[in-house]
Every structure is written in C-alpha cells, then in structure tokens.
Homo-oligomer: A and B are copies of this chain.
Amino acid sequence: MTSTALRDHAVQAREASLVLARLPGARRTEGILAIADALLASSDEILFANAIDVAAARTRGTPAAQVDRLLLDRTRIAAMASAVREIAAQDDPIGVAVEHRIRPNGLRVSRVRMPLGVVCVIYEARPNVTSDAAALALRSGNAILLKGGTEARHSNLALGEVIGRALGAAGLPTAAVQVLAPSSREELTELLRLDDLIDLVIPRGGEGLIRFVAEHSRIPVIKHFKGVCHVFVDATADLDMALSIVANAKVSRPSVCNAAETLLVHRDIAPAFMPRMAEQLTTQGVTLHACAETLALLGGRPGVVAATDEDWATEYLSLDLAVRIVDDLDAALRHIERYGSDHTEAIITRDLVAADRFKAEARSSCVMVNASTRFNDGGELGLGAEIGISTSRLHAYGPMGAHELTTLRFIVEGQGHIR
C-alpha cells in the first residue's frame, strides 16, 4: 500500500469516528448485532478464505499449535458471533456522566465519557481478534484500523468484507472498521507516523512485533511485552486447591500470556507439596526448572532440571515451569517485584492477612487470590472481550474492554458565571 493510500484510510477512519461519536448508542448496538448476524450468514465465505491461509500455513510447515490458532470452523465462527453479541449487550459507555459535583459558586461540573477517536490494532494470527476488536470499537464509539498478520491475510480481509457490508446495511459508516492488508515493516512504520489521524495503537503478538511498534510509533502505544506470571503457594494453602490451580495455570493453555511461568512455594509447605506437584505436572508433560532446594526435595525425578537465574525471567509459553522455594510472603513479593512483568500473579492461601498483603503489595495489573492466572482475560473478567492487555500504568492497566477505549472530559454548566 502506498503511504497516500494508508493516509486515505486513516482520513476516512477519522471522518467515520466523528459520525460514530454523534450516533446514539442504540444505533451502534444495531451495527454490532449486524456484525454478529453477518458472521453466521457469511460463514462459507469466511471459511473459504480461511482454508487458503490454513493450507498456506501447512505448506510452510507451520507448527500445529500455530495452525490451530489460525484455523476457523463453524463452531469457532459461532463463538466469534457470540462474543460480538455479548459486547452488543453491554451498556453503552458514551455520553454517560460518571461524576457530578456542584461547586460552592453553583457551577455544575460533570465528567462525561467520550470515545478516543481512531484506534489501530496491529496483531498476529488469531482471526477472532478482528471481530472482537470491531465490536469493542463500535461499542466505545471509535473507528478502528485493523492490521492483521500475513499468515491470516485472506481470513482477515474476508472478515473485513463481511463486517463492512454489515455496517453499510445497518446504515453506519463502513470506514468505521477497516481491515488493512498486511504489509512490510516499512509500510507499518508509515502507518505509525499518522499521529494527526490515529489516537492509539495497540500491538498484539510476539515480543518482536510489539517492540518494533513501540520503537517506531509517534502515536501513543498501549502494550504488554510478556507475561511472566507467578503462582505463590503460601504456607496455609489447601494442597488440593494449590495443585489444581498450578496445573490449570500451567497446562490448560501454555502458549498464552496468562499461563503461569514460575511457581513460588513457601518453605513450610514445600516438603508436603513439591512431590505431589512434581508427580502430577511431570505426568502432564511439564518440565520443572527447579531451584537447588526443590531439586534436593525431588531427588533425581525425570522431568526435573536445575534452574538457572535466567529461568526466573523467562516466559516459556511451553510446558516448562520454573519452581522456587521461598522463605515467606516477603520473599515471594520480592521475587515477583524483581522478575515479574506486571501481568498476573496468584496466591493460594487460607491466611487472610497474607491474602490482603499480597493484594496490596503485588503491584501487577491483575492479582488473583485462590484462582488460576488463566482468568486474566477480558471475557473472563466481565469486559465481554479484550482489545489488548496493558502492563504499563498509564491510561489502562490489565485487559482493556470498551471502557478502556474511552476518556472522560469535563462539562461545566453555569448561569453566567465569571471568575
């Protein structure tokens, strides 16, 4: 795409965003529902395009797990439509006053929610991001530019076609959701320079893509580089619960950012917990990267290797788990402060004081008590879906839903007030 063509897309998005911002929420809801209907009605068209991407991925020898992320079928399209419907059912955030105060001089001050304007999502692999992001953008009154990866090229362009037609039929500006063709890094850099037209960029994917976007963007970027998520098993933990949560956090889907990467175990409970944990996890195919003390407890069990300092900072995204014995809650918090990525930390405990301290002092974007790290997900936390996850504290911290694509401004009403 030429840089003029890119700019034209962004200009059209900006214009569409002005139209969207003025529409009542009900009209945007109709647009979101129209997308859900169209996904189902146009399944054949979407599956045909997806088959091209999947065949090409297999020809390239893409690993099965990655092909699976790319693959659509009728069940998955139905799930996409259902996620879109859930977003349609959310209260519309735009125009809602969230604070109101009357000043001593009688001036009425409120803070009212408005859209950001134009949002750009740059992503890899999973085509469901396309429909989730389109629905969240409409819910929050923003126009959106969607730039997926080459591997999902045909799938995303087909989804863009289907969504565009649905918006047109619902009487909404079709430029509100635009799927841009995948492009070279040079073209991506051009896009990232359009800070007069685009308000926010959200990169989703591997650390390489995210670092590239963060370094080259003149537009504000919200991102997370990686998820080095910890589970801390406290001295008072229910052992069965701890085992169940650790296994779920590591094994249920090791390739995602909310999977656990490091297990911290309180010294007092380690002799009772470690052998059972090792038994179950190694049976499930997990390699444990263990500290010296853990090694001493577990002897020469297969599937257990010695951890190096590097393990503590590693996001494996695989069936590997770093395991360390810590003296107490303080030591666990210090470990997380030093090696964590501000993504997700969980404590398993029956001790109220420990739970309170962990909630207050683990400063990550999502802190779990007696629950799996895997729940750090927009859908699971009640946001409907997520457009991204932020691990920096500006604007949003944690998974971002429709609300996180809005801002609050001041509306002030007087009766001739002067100062």
Contacts and interface: CB of A to CB of B under 8 A. Distances in A.
Interface residues of A, number: 62
Interface string A397-419: 11100000001111111111111
A233 to B, nearest CB: 13
Contacts of A22: 360-361
**Which one of A368, A371, A381, A415 has the greatest number of beta carbons of chain B within 10 Å?**
A371
A339 interface: no
A244 interface: yes
How many copies are assembled? 2
Interface string A345-367: 00000000000000111011111
A411 B376 contact: no
Contacts of A410: 365-367, 376, 381, 398-399
Contacts of A370: 413-417
Contact of A417 (B252, B372, B399, B415): B372
Interface in A373-406: 374-376, 380-382, 392-399
A248 interface: yes
Contact of A397 (B364, B372, B408): B408
Interface in A162-212: 199-200
A107 to B, nearest CB: 6
Contact of A245 (B363, B396, B418): B418
A248 B369 CA distance: 55
Contacts of A116: 393-394
A376 B409 CA distance: 11
Nearest to A364: B409
A411 B418 CA distance: 44
A285 interface: no
Contacts of A360: 22, 95
A254 interface: no
Contacts of A238: 416
B414 A109 contact: no
A395 B395 contact: yes
A363 B419 contact: no
Interface of A: 21-22, 95, 101, 103, 107, 109, 112, 114, 116-117, 199-200, 220, 238, 241, 244-245, 247-249, 252, 359-361, 363-372, 374-376, 380-382, 392-399, 407-419
27 contacts: A22-B360, A22-B361, A107-B375, A107-B380, A109-B382, A114-B393, A114-B397, A116-B393, A238-B416, A245-B418, A252-B419, A364-B409, A366-B409, A367-B412, A370-B417, A371-B413, A371-B414, A371-B416, A371-B417, A372-B414, A372-B417, A381-B412, A393-B407, A394-B394, A394-B407, A397-B407, A399-B410
